[in-house]
Amino acid sequence: MLALCWRRLGAAVVTSVSLAGCSPTTTQSTPTDTTTAAEPWGDRPVVDLSIVMDEDLGGARGAESIVFTPDRRICEVVFRAWPNGPTTAREGTSLVVSSATVDGQRVTPVERQAGAPGGAPGTLVQLPLSSCRDEGEEVEVDLDFRLNLAETSEERLGVDPEAEMAWFAGGFPLLAWVREEGWARDHAVELPGETATSEDFELASMTVTAPEEYQVLGTGSPTGAEPATRSGWTEHRFEAAAVRNIAVSVGRMEVETTQAHGVRVRVGVPTAGTRVGVPDWLEAHVEYLARLEELLGDFPYDDLSVTVTPSRMSGIESPTALLYGDLPGRRLDGLVAHELAHQWAYALVGNNQARHPWVDESVATFAQAVVTGTEDDFALEDVDDDIAGYLGYPMAYWAEQGGFGYYYEGVYEQGAAVLLAGREAVGEDRFDAALRDYLRTNAHRVSGPDQVEGAFTDLPEVEELLRDYGAFDGPPQGNPFG
């Protein structure tokens, strides 16, 4: 990733950084950064998305058009409505598909709970096909949907009427396809963690229509704003070549933009006030973007939007877009480093977050520890015996066993400790080169434990540590793909 310089570094650099991987390694025993970066899937879905906010920002009407070419035979099209998961639905958030057509023919969506709490809409929406489609046969789907946002939410979707601000990550029907596997049907669980699984799609256009007095930040690159047909409203447009989810924030915000390391970084905070101002948030992202590029390789995108919400959540990652709660300054370093690291592990290299949460969370926590100099906070000797060895277990297991704290210790902390111990065992250069090679090789794919294991085949000490702590194991369960 580093040596190939996926995205050419821009001239305007806020913080000087030496990209170690851009110099070839001469030691024969050290993996070299020579692998060609994987390109986005040529048949990735193409999405056009229109979102029209309510005047009070309490929700939105949406329309989605998607052209999809499956790589295996299908007899239905499956979307996920993740706002209907337990932790968000109980706050009052919901996402409902109101109408759908497939290749111009109206179909009736079939809704499945798939982990949604009683009384809430389901998290799984199936569109039956009049006849099955073969591999390589294009399907065009059009959806209308309604998103309702909960007030004073501490989650990734919410609205604060007093601050006149709304935010939502994943607030749209998400195509649940995984190449070579099929539809991802994993249930939502009782944890405020991510369970979304999807391939990259081309966001050909995303239009967010809102009252003209409001700022809008969103996934991808902004391509302009123009007056809407409704007087006093503005259409804000975005696009992205390859992303696997979206996030949007709308409201009265103070927004600042800078160019750092070839990346256009925007930070927005509520004009109602925050505990940490725009300059500090901007400085933290510029600093840790530079440090993470040294460790993981060139930042995968041209744009990054950052929104500080009035909520008290911590942070949530979406490709090219991050949402944070209104946090005290002392928490910025670790959290910013962690969420930024997800732009490589989850955004660029995806994973089934329900079945293999460690594949992104452990890597992001490892990277956080390295770039913040807090490696000693993640030691193998501190891993509790009742957690050790269960690293590869799915989110359903952690939800059943002990909630988010147990999950954090078992996946975030344990995984980081294992990776850091492996790095110490084989040396920083060899480990970091293997990790960068993994990220390049699996870019724009849904990765899993097998791919991580393959990345460390030439570093058996690392592979053995991961195996000893259960990274390649998991409880017996049925195949969630169909």
Q: In the 8-state DSSP scheme, what is residue 369?
A: H
Extents of the domains making up the chain: 46-341, 350-468
5 pLDDT above the threshold of 50: no
In which residue are the tokens 């249930």 written?
A: 187
So what's the pLDDT on residue 33?
Answer: 56
Beta-strand ranges (E) seen in 289-364 are 303-308, 315-318, 321-324, 350-351
Spatial separation of the C-alpha atoms in residues 163 and 153, rounded to whole Å: 13
Percentage of the residues of the chain whose pLDDT score is greater than 90? 86
Task: Spell out the residues 6+ positions from residue 424 whose beta carbon is closer than 8 angstroms to its own.
Answer: none
Nearest of 245, 315, 253, 272 to residue 236 by alpha carbon: 253
Task: Spell out the residues 6+ positions from residue 364 whose beta carbon is closer than 8 angstroms to its own.
Answer: 338, 339, 341, 342, 345, 346
User: In the predicted model, what is the mean pLDDT of the chain?
Assistant: 91
Spatial separation of the C-alpha atoms in residues 111 and 72, rounded to whole Å: 23
Domain made up of 46-341: CATH architecture: Sandwich (2.60)
Supply φ then ψ for residue 145, to 5 degrees: -145, 165
Predicted confidence (pLDDT) per residue in 100-121, tens digit: 999 999 999 999 999 999 999 9
Nearest of 131, 132, 175 to residue 41 by alpha carbon: 175
Nearest of 450, 347, 451, 357 to residue 396 by alpha carbon: 357
CA distances from 68 to 140, 319, 361, 449 (A): 6, 20, 29, 27
Least confident of 151-155, 249-253, 414-418: 151-155
Across 42-51, average pLDDT: 97
Supply φ then ψ for residue 401, to 5 degrees: -85, -35
473 pLDDT above the threshold of 90: no
So what's the pLDDT on residue 234?
Answer: 98
12 — pLDDT class (breaks 50, 70, 90): very low
Spatial separation of the C-alpha atoms in residues 245 and 220, rounded to whole Å: 10
Spatial separation of the C-alpha atoms in residues 408 and 298, rounded to whole Å: 28
So what's the pLDDT on residue 17?
Answer: 31
Spatial separation of the C-alpha atoms in residues 360 and 194, rounded to whole Å: 10
Nearest of 303, 316, 326 to residue 217 by alpha carbon: 303
Annotation: CATH topology of 350-468: Neutral Protease; domain 2 (1.10.390)
Q: Which two tokens stand for residue 408?
A: 């954090």
Predicted confidence (pLDDT) per residue in 317-355, tens digit: 999 999 999 988 788 999 999 999 999 999 999 999 999
Whole-model pTM: value is: 0.91
Cβ 293 vs Cβ 304: under 8 Å: no
Least confident of 150-164, 241-255, 358-372: 150-164
HSE of 24, CA atoms in CB hemisphere, 13 A: 4
Type of residue found at 5: C
DSSP β-ladder status, 303-308 and 321-324: parallel
Q: How many CB atoms lie within 10 A of CB 468?
A: 13
